[in-house]
Structure 1
């Protein structure tokens, strides 16, 4: 996922469910080993 877009409704719903169940905010999602394979949902360093 090099476009940094975390698109589909199912993906959004899944991540939101994980946030609710864990009680933690998801800021980054790694989809591979390279730095380019990281999706930034909410920049924790901004």
Structure 2
């Protein structure tokens, strides 16, 4: 168990890979993108 182990978090960090033990962190969509300028309310 350690750096050489493909199945551990430390091993994933060492190799620079991702998987079950070390999932990718997804970027959160900012509030400005959710309320984009193109989606303005239309007047009736």
TM-score (ref. length: structure 1): 0.25
Larger RCO (CA within 8 A; separation ≥ 6): 1
Which structure is higher in strand share?
Answer: 1
> Could you say which structure has the larger radius of gyration?
2
Which structure is higher in helix share?
Answer: 1
TM-score (ref. length: structure 2): 0.25
